[in-house]
Amino acid sequence: MTTTLRGACFDVEIAPERGADIVQITDVATGLPLLAQSPTRHVRRAPSGADSMAAWLAGYPGGWQMLVPNAGPQRVHDGVHQGFHGEAALAEWTVLGQTPASCEVETWLATAPLHLHRTVTATDDGVAVTDTLRNLSPDTIEVRIVQHPAFGSPFLDDRSYVTVPAGTVVADADAPGSLVEAGAVGSPGSVLGDAVDDLGIRLPGPGSEASLFAAFTDFTAPEATFHSPTHGFGVRLSWDAAVYPHAWFWIEANAGAGWPWFRRLYAIAVEPANVLPGEGLTSDGRPLGGPGVALEPDRPLSSTTRLSRRSSPVG
């Protein structure tokens, strides 16, 4: 059962029963949905014998999740298997309070001693998501945290681009996709090549069968702005750099011929993250993956991630 928050700029649909996902954000002025919609959103249960990745993707609506205490492939950490992309996005959250423009929810995790509190507010210029993580153990623990918003069509198309004030792109070493070389590290222009021009990073359109998995780091400002010249506006995602020093960057433009998308997903994401994806070291010695941030007992970690509407030239 979803609930919809009404704002002057965006309407925000939330699903407390599954991860407190932000299922969709709709631009009030144009009626356009901004977030990607997954073809697996109609699946109500994981296939028999499914691993943690299949279980996470079953019912995945697209939209925006918080990944805690793990992000990426499943791992053993603190003596427990932490599944693909973590437990929080599969947990049932309790609604603590709601107004027409805001919703306050909480949940407790089993694979880490965490209490999570989230407030989602439809603001005058967009949406604000405030997350607080509290370690309930007397011992310090370490967690990976990633905000996981994915944008899609019809908001984005082959005329769209994204501007990201980051000095470095790190391409995934194992599954970089079709647009970059595996393990490449360097400036956006050197890694992404012709996709970078004076406007920013040009995005492939639906049906282009392009794919990419990389990350941005070395930010001068913790933000990314998606521009839609077709529709005459953009949206800026901004976050707390002290909590999220990196941002994962992935593109799935109807590229995957097999499971799970069968060429049915168009999604493009820049995702604030406290770890770079992968494991080991980059070619220039940067740590990939790792345990994440250390949370001390009774010292909550709070941050706010914002999405705001921006004007963009029509072209």
Question: Left, alpha or beta for 153 (phi > 0: left; psi -120 to 50: alpha)?
Answer: beta
pTM listed for this prediction: 0.96
User: CATH assignment of 3-311?
Assistant: 2.70.98.10
The pLDDT of residue 59: 84
3-state SS assignment for residue 67 = strand
* Percentage of the chain lying above the pLDDT 90 cut: 89
**Region 180-190: what's the mean pLDDT?**
98
Share of the chain above pLDDT 70, in %: 97
| Res 230 pLDDT > 90 | yes
Whole-angstrom distance, CA of residue 67 vs CA of residue 57: 13
The domain segmentation of the chain, as residue ranges, is 3-311
Tokens of 139: 């011992």
Average pLDDT over the chain, rounded to an integer: 95
At CA 291, angle to CA 267 and CA 91, rounded to 5?
A: 55
